[in-house]
Structure 1
Amino acid sequence: MNTYNLVVIGSGPAGRRAAIQAAKLGKSVLVVENRLRLGGVSVHTGTIPSKTLRETVLNLSGWRERGFYGLSYRVKKDIEGKDLGARLRMTLDYEIEVLEHQFARNGVRTFAGKARFIDANHISVTDPTGDVHTFGFEHAVIAVGTAPYRPANIPFNDHSVVDSDSLVFEPRVPRSLTVVGAGVIGIEYATIFSALDVPVTIIEPRDTILDFIDREIIEEFTHDLRKRGMTIRFGAKVETVELDEQGWPVAILADGRRIRSDMLLYAAGRSGATADLGLENCGIVPADRGRLKVDPITFQTSTRNIYAAGDVIGFPSLASTSMEQGRIAALHACGAAMPPAPAFFPYGIYAVPEISTVGLTEQQVREQGIAYESGVARFRETSRGHIMGLQSGMMKMIFSLETRKLLGVHIVGEGATELIHIGQAVLNLGGTLDYFVENAFNYPTLAEAYKIAALDAWNRMPRNTPIAPIE
């Protein structure tokens, strides 16, 4: 039996970063992955496929050029599932190749099979042939990610009734689409297919969506969705789903309404993929839907030599934060110094249009009783926006009246997930409004919106505030 300093279960963003960090500290590391190929949920069914699908759709549909050439403009007239799948497979192969090279270069051993804890220092791994192998470890990181939640009253068939995994496994372009659940995953896929001119209906039992995003941004976003013909049913609960005589799914709502479409995507939550890990053998009790509770600083579970990181521990369930969680867990397990976590990190939602945010929302600023002012810049007001033919998109910035410090940046529109990093840097470095009004930004760029929004906020600030430079 081989014994390792660190065993990592799962090779997604959290597991990958934990393994490589420990290896760089000179530790022996084993990564166990239950798929035949490395990458975890992120590479095979999550982050990489969904973002690749988004980019493929935007390119083939000519979405970005419609501001100039009209709503009927398309780069490719008839877009089929095979068009979407070709790019997915190329991207997946490349990501796996990069990951395999990283592990090989850092001396990380990998093993394909299903891991199960024997006790707090040993795991058994059943390989694809059915043989069982046993490994010992000093520390372990659980980074198994999540799987789509599949309630019994939904007749999944992976063709007309799908979850987010089966949607990308064999992508097709439906004649119409119903999306149950307006969380991040549901919103991303709903807007991606809407960009293909597929009629989309979103069903959400709550009266709001994406509650962690600034409300003004969400209002702008939902207005944009409705403007392009999407139907959003807030406060609507799906009781069950039936298949009609043609095999089309019919969502039956609690109020009796029936919504029929060619495809139904059920995206109402995910569950931690922990059911078969034998956690009871090492003293760990999963929380709701298989999620694991951890120390928020060290990412240790209740069994102190076993850590958990990534989507399996819940919100925010972002690839970027999962990587940092895995790295911090490995540092603590190896007894290395852990750098302090940044006060703010960005969220990115790869819908069409993108949404990205960092720092406090206007609602949070009010709740904390901070005197503030906000400024807004519309992308269509920028020269770059005109050049790109943008009809929508906005940036909102929030500043403290007392200290002039930046409190939050919220963006919806083209390039939001890239633009946010300027605000992230200024926010974490304690920068103020003066940075944006006193510094030059490349022209013409969408980043110029930072200066426009900052000046918009300054225009409403008390006049005892120092005068901003003349634009």
Structure 2
Amino acid sequence: MDFDLIVIGAGPGGYVAAIRAGQLGLKTAIVERENLGGICLNWGCIPTKALLKSGEVYEQLGHLADYGLAAEGRSYDFTKIVERSRGVSKQLSSGVAFLMKKNKVEVIDGTAKLEKGSPAPKVVVALKAGGSRTLQAKAVILATGARARTIPAIGLEPDGDAIWTYREAMVPKACPKSLIVVGSGAIGIEFASFYRALGAEVTVVEAVDRILPVEDEEVSAAAQKAFAKRGIKFKVGAKVTKLSKTKAGVSIALEAGGKAETLEAEKAIVAVGIAGNVENLGLEALGVKLDRDHIVIDGHGATNVPGLYAIGDVAGAPWLAHKASHEGVHCVEHIAGKNPVKIDAPIPGCTYAQPQVASVGLTEAQAKAKGLEVKVGRFPFRVNGKAIAAGETEGFVKTVFDAKTGALLGAHMIGGEVTEMIQGFALAMTLEATEAELMATVFPHPTMSEAMHEASLDAYGQVLHL
């Protein structure tokens, strides 16, 4: 054996798995064809948050009078905004390289393909520097991630100019004057929020009848209202029939409510989901079981092929970096014989627009669809002291409890910094807290997190400040 473990893909799933393997004393290698940190660190989670922060600060400059402040000459340098975002990614990618060295993980720059082998498939790497290298390990983890889904038949694919995916949308030369975003999931909404903050005329097109369709319906409605106040336009329940490039930019043909409509803009972003990176890995020859473009795994990340595992986006929803990292640690501990319990912790989801959206667990509708009797609590930030002082009164916290057991089934938030607050409810659910524990928890004052306490109290008719 060349290694105890080979990890293919150095995104937040792969590199975290490699770190844990190194900590457990496994001789480990990681193969990466592009950049350490993967899409998340280089072209996704991290650089988009840097862009969004620039947009947020710029937008706040337009509201200084609300805080008794004044400044002259509000402007931005788009090139520097993009440069800052790229610099953040470069810094963190270098940090991953340090962590690989610290944990004695060998980094192999190249593109991997699997071949039959025992006790796990062989890994053949086409090296970036030229030539190839064949490796054998006791176990192999696939952490190859995913890419933006495209629909070429109706023009929903990037052209490197007027039609973008998330990748092109992060490094344009200038902010477009007008923009159409196809898809209102987290990626689409975040880019819509960023470009609107810088003054672009933004229209979001969504096929279903509400934006952020994975979120609780009340949150979706509040989000659309809040984004509309910022000037973002929406076309919901709208089917895209054709996206075309024009001399002026792009043209998009829609069908909504039985009527045809055409929209035009300078640029378009395609954000209609993602597809797992399962191609050119040799999976078919090995007989690896797939569900469309995702690898089928068990509760420990194992595929149907001995010695081969998969984690993260390539193994299916939810397509979230923190889910990939959690799976990576669990998978490695299973390989190392540590017998971890199956992964069943609640996974929070976050959208970093203005306002922010965050959730964990079941929505009210999902809980009722499961036949559960629920108690629902709500608390608005408009009566929260810290929110009023900060000028961030938009939004609310919603809790969903099992009426029979008191178990917290889900929590849903929209408002300032809710992406930081949601972890409190995620921890409560992991610890199997009931309404009794949440009511007994002391929340610091004044904080926006007090709305979490009040929303729990409200579900049981004990809300204090409403």
Q: Deviations over 1:89-109 (max 9, x none)?
A: 221121112111111011000
Report the Cα distance in structure 2 between the residues aligned to 1:437 and 1:337, rounded to whole angstroms: 35
Q: Cα–Cα, structure 1 residues 4 and 261, in superposed 2: closer, same or farther, change >3 Å?
A: same
Partner of 2:92 in structure 1?
95
Partner of 2:294 in structure 1?
291
Amino acid at match of 1:412: I
Contact 1:213 1:357 (8 Å CA) reproduced: yes
Cα shift at 1:399:
2.9
Report the Cα distance in structure 2 between the residues aligned to 1:171 and 1:326, rounded to whole angstroms: 36
Q: TM-score, normalised on structure 1? A: 0.90
Cα shift at 1:357:
1.1
Report the Cα distance in structure 2 between the residues aligned to 1:67 and 1:322, rounded to whole angstroms: 43
Partner of 1:280 in structure 2?
284
Cα shift at 1:245:
2.5
Report the Cα distance in structure 2 between the residues aligned to 1:122 and 1:63, rounded to whole angstroms: 56
Report the Cα distance in structure 2 between the residues aligned to 1:66 and 1:399, rounded to whole angstroms: 40
Partner of 2:150 in structure 1?
150
Report the Cα distance in structure 1 between the residues aligned to 2:392 and 2:62, rounded to whole angstroms: 8
Cα shift at 1:375:
1.8
Partner of 1:464 in structure 2?
none
Cα shift at 1:381:
1.0
Cα shift at 1:324:
0.9
Q: How does 1:200-215 map to 2 (within 5 A)?
A: 200-215=202-217
Q: Confirm or deny that 1:258 pairs with 2:262.
A: yes
Structure 2 SS opposite 1:23:
helix
Amino acid at match of 2:314: V
Mind listing any 5+ residue stretches in structure 2 that lack a counterpart? none
Count of aligned pairs between the two proteins: 458
Report the Cα distance in structure 2 between the residues aligned to 1:64 and 1:338, rounded to whole angstroms: 51
Structure 2 SS opposite 1:256:
strand
Report the Cα distance in structure 2 between the residues aligned to 1:203 and 1:445, rounded to whole angstroms: 36
Contact 1:203 1:236 (8 Å CA) reproduced: yes
Contact 1:12 1:39 (8 Å CA) reproduced: yes
Report the Cα distance in structure 1 between the residues aligned to 2:331 and 2:226, rounded to whole angstroms: 41
Q: Deviations over 1:403-432 (max 9, x none)?
A: 444332211111111111222222322333
Mind listing any 5+ residue stretches in structure 1 that lack a counterpart? 461-467
Cα shift at 1:342:
4.5
Q: Confirm or deny that 1:241 pairs with 2:238.
A: no
Partner of 2:124 in structure 1?
124
Report the Cα distance in structure 2 between the residues aligned to 1:41 and 1:256, rounded to whole angstroms: 36
Of 411, 423, 426, which residue of structure 2 is paired with 1:424?
A: 426
Report the Cα distance in structure 2 between the residues aligned to 1:10 and 1:348, rounded to whole angstroms: 24
Q: Deviations over 1:86-130 (max 9, x none)?
A: 211221121112111111011000011111112242121112243
Q: How does 1:74-85 map to 2 (within 5 A)?
A: 77-85=74-82
Contact 2:112 2:126 (8 Å CA) reproduced: yes
Structure 2 SS opposite 1:237:
strand
Give the percent of matched residue pairs that are identical in Structure 1 and Structure 2: 28
Structure 1 SS opposite 2:295:
coil
Cα shift at 1:438:
4.0
Contact 2:454 2:465 (8 Å CA) reproduced: no
Amino acid at match of 1:221: A
Q: How does 1:166-185 map to 2 (within 5 A)?
A: 166-170=168-172, 172-185=174-187
Q: Deviations over 1:315-352 (max 9, x none)?
A: 11111111011111212222222144344232222222
Of 189, 192, 201, which residue of structure 1 is paired with 2:191?
A: 189
Report the Cα distance in structure 1 between the residues aligned to 2:267 and 2:77, rounded to whole angstroms: 15
Contact 1:117 1:279 (8 Å CA) reproduced: yes
Partner of 1:365 in structure 2?
367
Of 27, 46, 57, which residue of structure 1 is paired with 2:44?
A: 46
Contact 1:113 1:125 (8 Å CA) reproduced: yes
Cα RMSD (Å) of the superposition? 2.5
Report the Cα distance in structure 1 between the residues aligned to 2:65 and 2:287, rounded to whole angstroms: 58
Report the Cα distance in structure 2 between the residues aligned to 1:266 and 1:74, rounded to whole angstroms: 37
Which stretch of the first structure deviates more once superposed, 346-355 or 7-16?
346-355
Q: Deviations over 1:204-242 (max 9, x none)?
A: 122233333211111111111222222111121222222
Amino acid at match of 2:424: I
